[in-house]
């Protein structure tokens, strides 16, 4: 077949260029980091499914003002260098992402400088308080984070809320002496991001704080750590790792007879943990910025069910769907107000107060981001895991109101 040099046919070249340009303009390119093979894969696979399903549903239901989302997802196996490599590959490509759906704490913090320079919003499933100070006004963060966002209270604020709840219960029950608190977690950016702030607040409101107990992010035999916890006589133990290793801890602690009440971070507990650990995981309390499956009759539950194809999914999945929809609505605002650029999408994140994405009413806790404060909320909604008829179930414990304290900003 004879090949034609389009430079000899200016009109044809122009038409081809316009067609290609128009096609590109009808899609919105975003990046996504997943962990489906690393140490947090139990949580990560839920996030990966949710992001994929949510984008598919959005594209089938109007897209972003008619534009379809094109998402390039990378499994970075929970290794920060891999995340940096994926980011550099995206930025060296012919199409650069206008937003990134991020993942963990170490990789998110490693990319702060990059997204600041390139002006791309980075909406992660990592909730360290270090990402909440967009202008660096608190003087407590290493770098300002104007392009970083997450939904829900920070790990620090959520831990403080849990400690307040337990302390209030202690006083209500008129128990003698001070309650004892033990922080447990790996020597890793995830748990380290809020270990000191949790312990400091516990001391501030009257706990006796026992030495922190370290256990790996990987599943294993943690009877030794559980014996240390038992010997400490701690009344409350906070699990700072993800659900993957918390399953092992809960089983080990049941084996050695630990009596402490367990609390976790938002990613430390779910239906999957209940199923895997059985009765050892019953009674644990976690802070969810979403309503777990089956715990909401509002319109949002129907949307979640449609996105999930009617299959019950975990709180992890629902949280990731909420994240995608916040980004989607920020993209829509940018599209209508000057064009979809990182800076415009960032502005889109500041347009609403007590924001719940359309169609997800009752599922995503109302959030407010401002140009000076990226704490989307400081209070926490607590849920306790149980079993009903042999199946994982939830008990709503309550909303713990926490003030937006300046002294906690950025930490």
pLDDT digits (tens, 9 = 90+) for 229-240: 999 999 999 999
What percent of the chain shows pLDDT beyond 90? 92
Residue 4: count of CB within 10 angstroms of its CB: 9
What percent of the chain shows pLDDT beyond 70? 94
- pLDDT surpassing 80 at residue 14: no
pLDDT band of residue 222 (cuts 50, 70, 90) is very high
pLDDT digits (tens, 9 = 90+) for 352-400: 999 999 999 999 999 999 999 999 999 999 999 999 999 999 999 999 9
Can you give the pLDDT at residue 25?
A: 58
95-104: b (≥16 Cβ within 10 Å) or e: eebbbbbbbb
Q: Determine whether domain 6-153+297-348 maps to CATH 3.40.50.300.
A: no
3-state SS, residue 209: strand
73, 97 Cβ separation under 8 angstroms: no
pLDDT band of residue 226 (cuts 50, 70, 90) is very high
Q: Which pTM does this prediction carry? A: 0.93
Q: Determine whether domain 155-294+381-408 maps to CATH 3.40.50.2300.
A: yes
Residue 88: count of CB within 10 angstroms of its CB: 12
- pLDDT surpassing 50 at residue 12: no
pLDDT band of residue 254 (cuts 50, 70, 90) is very high
Can you give the pLDDT at residue 24?
A: 47
Best CA proximity match to 244, nearest among 221, 211, 261, 267: 267
Q: If you average pLDDT over residues 280-305, what whole number do you get?
A: 95
Higher-confidence residue of 191 and 17: namely 191
3-state SS, residue 208: strand
Question: How many CA atoms are closer than 13 Å to the CA of 110, on its beta-carbon side?
Answer: 19
**Same topology between domain 6-153+297-348 and domain 155-294+381-408:** yes
Dihedral sign, Cα of residue 50, residue 323, residue 132, residue 270: negative
Q: Break the chain into its structural domains and give their ranges.
A: 6-153+297-348, 155-294+381-408
- pLDDT surpassing 70 at residue 278: yes
User: What's the DSSP call for residue 367?
Assistant: B
Can you give the pLDDT at residue 54?
A: 98
pLDDT band of residue 296 (cuts 50, 70, 90) is confident
Can you give the pLDDT at residue 297?
A: 84
pLDDT digits (tens, 9 = 90+) for 316-348: 999 999 999 999 999 999 999 999 999 999 999
């Amino acid at each position: 077949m004879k090949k034609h040099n389009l430079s000899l046919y200016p009109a044809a070249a122009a038409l081809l260029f316009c067609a290609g340009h128009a096609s590109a303009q009808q899609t919105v390119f975003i990046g996504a980091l997943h962990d489906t093979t690393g140490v947090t894969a139990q949580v990560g696979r839920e996030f990966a499914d949710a992001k994929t399903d949510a984008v598919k549903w959005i594209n089938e239901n109007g897209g972003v003002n008619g534009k379809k989302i094109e998402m390039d997802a990378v499994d970075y196996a929970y290794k920060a260098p891999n995340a940096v490599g994926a980011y550099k590959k995206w930025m060296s490509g012919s199409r650069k992402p206008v937003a990134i759906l991020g993942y963990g704490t170490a990789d998110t913090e490693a990319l702060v400088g990059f997204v600041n320079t390139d002006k791309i919003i980075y909406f992660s499933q990592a909730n360290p308080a270090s990402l909440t100070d967009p202008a660096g006004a608190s003087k407590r963060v290493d770098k300002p984070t104007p392009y970083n966002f997450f939904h829900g209270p920070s790990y620090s604020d959520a831990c403080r809320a849990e400690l307040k709840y337990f302390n209030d219960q202690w006083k209500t029950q008129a128990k003698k002496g001070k309650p004892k608190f033990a922080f447990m977690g790996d020597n890793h950016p995830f748990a380290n991001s809020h270990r000191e702030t949790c312990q400091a607040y516990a001391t501030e409101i009257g706990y006796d704080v026992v030495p922190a107990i370290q256990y790996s992010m990987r599943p294993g035999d943690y009877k030794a750590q559980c014996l240390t916890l038992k010997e400490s006589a701690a009344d409350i133990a906070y699990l700072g790792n993800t659900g993957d290793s918390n399953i092992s801890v809960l089983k080990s602690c049941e084996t050695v007879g630990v009596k402490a009440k367990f609390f976790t971070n938002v990613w430390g507990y779910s239906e999957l943990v209940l199923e895997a650990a059985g009765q050892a995981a019953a009674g644990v309390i976690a802070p969810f910025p979403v309503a777990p499956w089956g715990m909401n009759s509002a319109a949002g539950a129907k949307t979640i069910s449609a996105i999930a194809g009617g299959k019950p999914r975990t709180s992890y999945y629902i949280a990731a769907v909420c994240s995608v929809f916040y980004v989607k609505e920020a993209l829509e605002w940018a599209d209508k107000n000057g064009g979809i650029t990182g800076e415009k999408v960032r502005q889109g994140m500041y347009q609403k107060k007590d924001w719940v994405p359309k169609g997800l009413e009752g599922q995503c806790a109302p959030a407010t981001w401002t140009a000076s404060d990226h704490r989307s909320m400081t209070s926490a909604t607590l849920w306790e895991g149980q079993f009903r008829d042999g199946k994982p179930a939830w008990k709503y414990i309550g909303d713990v109101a926490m003030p937006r304290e300046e002294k906690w900003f950025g930490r």
